[in-house]
Amino acid sequence: MLSIFFMTGVAAAQLGVFQDHHDIGTVLHPGSATFDSAKGAYTVSGSGDNMWFGTDDFHFLWKKATGDMAITADISFVGAKGNNHRKAALLFRQSLDANSVYVDVALHGDGLTSLQYRDSTGADTHEVETAASAPRRVRIEKRGNYAYVFVSNERGTLSFSGAAMRLKLAGEFYAGLGVCSHDKDVTETAIFTNVKVEPLAPATMKTVLWSTLETVKVASTDRLVAYTAPEHFEAPNWSRDGTSLLINREGRMYRFTLGGTAAPTLIPTSPQIHVNNDHGLSPDGSMLAVGDQGLDGKSRIYVLPTSGGVPRQITPDAPSYWHGWSPDGKTLAFTGQRGGDFDIYTVPLNGGKEARLTIAKGLDDGPEYSPDGKSIYFNSERTGRMQIWSMATDGSDQKQVIDESGNDWFPHISPDGKWMVYLAYKPDVEGHPGGQDVELRLMSLVDHKIKILAKLYGGQGTMNVPSWSPDSTRVAFVSYAELLQ
């Protein structure tokens, strides 16, 4: 039950920069919040079953806020024992209702640090899990309709964690500190020090582009940050053994080992060192197809061993953009511009003439084989909007798969053949530029139902090429953020 009361001036002063505190949701043991001005420390105690699913139970110390805001604090739990999922959080919340829209950075009892959010009233909570474990200091920023999480490194310096989420908080909202015990029968306490709650000035200064390599679980839509850096990289491919992701950066190919902390390692491709974001692995994982535009600025397709080596040219004509590999490993599917029009083509891996599969006016792009080798999925603007289509591998039986109001790009079929993930732009966006509010959408190839996997800032480079995990449970992608230096 939510208890609301008016505070005296003395009581309010005891809460530092905050205005009030309440138990949110169903809490059996009343929480508390105090401020020690001498130590600059806020002590918050809370009970509650969870901050998850469609409602939250916790204790919240808050102030009202509007516009762009940031909260920064050092967080520590009192006592080494307790539920591994107990949470101490910095959060923005639309209301004091248990089922309110919210976004937070939550430090868990076991060190897990995540951006958690509910993007509509009563919806289930989801998360973007950072790679950090028990950082001493954390920060959450709300800028426009995006929230960003920052964590401290071993030197105590804050940097972007890679966790970002698009979520709207309208008008006045609540900013503050929260504690949940994750056990309705006990109370847990956290201490927040060096707390800053501050409005953010408009981002008029120079910004830096951050790229974040992420994976998302198809079943839950929860996301995991694998790697983030203040640089531009693109288009992950998942290795066939499931242990690594391949990306392109500044004309070269790199491999990132999942679960590790080391930076991506270079895959030698010389003399092709102008590799673009159209690349992918052969069905057995032994070979890598890349697009390189070093000769004359026009992309041509090459293949090389996955571990690196001297590439062998496949397409003499340009531009040619690789997108798919037949399940038997013998044929490549690509987008080519021939005679002024972009269409879908195939070409034998071991030599032979290319075959044109589409002849419709306008752009046809993103061809990818189905796992059974019977179909090719692609995106086409022949109806006036970019939509997802399919056809037989000889180009016959072309039919529209999805009819949406926006523009849909780059269909990728799961290895088990049950799902299709694609990139969705708004209706007014032409082409597939970067720097856009986009969605990753998932369609069941069984019942054709569609759901949103992720909302993010991205577009070009986010998911141009096949990025499914081998077990069909996750998808890899790149999100972007433009942050102040």
Look at residues 156, 183, 199 and tell me which one is the last residue of a structural domain.
Answer: 199
Written as six digits, the tokens of 260 are 């590790």
Look at residues 129, 164, 199 and tell me which one is the last residue of a structural domain.
Answer: 199
120 and 211 share one domain: no
What gap in Å lies between CA 128 and CA 149, rounded to an integer? Answer: 10
274 and 145 share one domain: no
| 4 occurs within a structural domain | no
User: Which CATH number does the domain housing residue 308 bear?
Assistant: 2.120.10.30
174 and 241 share one domain: no
215 and 183 share one domain: no
For each of the chain's 485 residues, which pLDDT tens digit applies? 333 334 434 355 589 999 999 999 999 999 999 999 999 999 999 999 999 999 999 999 999 999 999 999 999 999 988 899 999 999 999 999 999 999 999 999 999 999 999 999 999 999 999 999 999 999 999 999 999 999 999 888 999 999 999 999 999 999 999 999 999 999 999 999 999 999 998 877 789 999 999 999 999 999 999 999 999 999 999 999 999 999 999 999 999 999 988 999 999 999 999 999 999 999 999 999 999 999 899 999 999 999 999 999 999 999 999 999 999 999 999 999 998 899 999 999 998 999 999 999 999 999 999 999 999 999 999 999 999 999 999 999 999 999 999 999 999 999 999 999 999 999 999 999 999 999 999 999 999 999 999 999 999 999 999 999 999 999 999 999 999 87
| 71 occurs within a structural domain | yes
55 and 30 share one domain: yes
Contact 319, 337 (CB under 8 A): yes
Q: Residue 7 gets which letter from DSSP?
A: P
193 and 213 share one domain: no
| 1 occurs within a structural domain | no
Look at residues 199, 230, 248 and tell me which one is the last residue of a structural domain.
Answer: 199
- 3-class SS of residue 11: helix
Angle at 119 between CA 176 and CA 91, to 5 degrees: 10
One-letter amino acid identity for 213?
L
Distances (CA, A) of 296 to 290, 291, 317, 339: 16, 13, 11, 18
Number of domains the chain is built from: 2
264 and 173 share one domain: no
64 and 142 share one domain: yes
User: Which CATH number does the domain housing residue 23 bear?
Assistant: 2.60.120.200
**For residue 202, is the peptide bond before it cis, meaning its omega torsion is within 30 degrees of 0?**
no
149 and 273 share one domain: no
Domain range spanning residue 268? 207-484
226 and 259 share one domain: yes
> Quick one: CA dihedral 462, 464, 467, 472, positive or negative?
positive
241 and 176 share one domain: no
Count of CA atoms in the C-beta half-sphere (13 A) of 229:
14
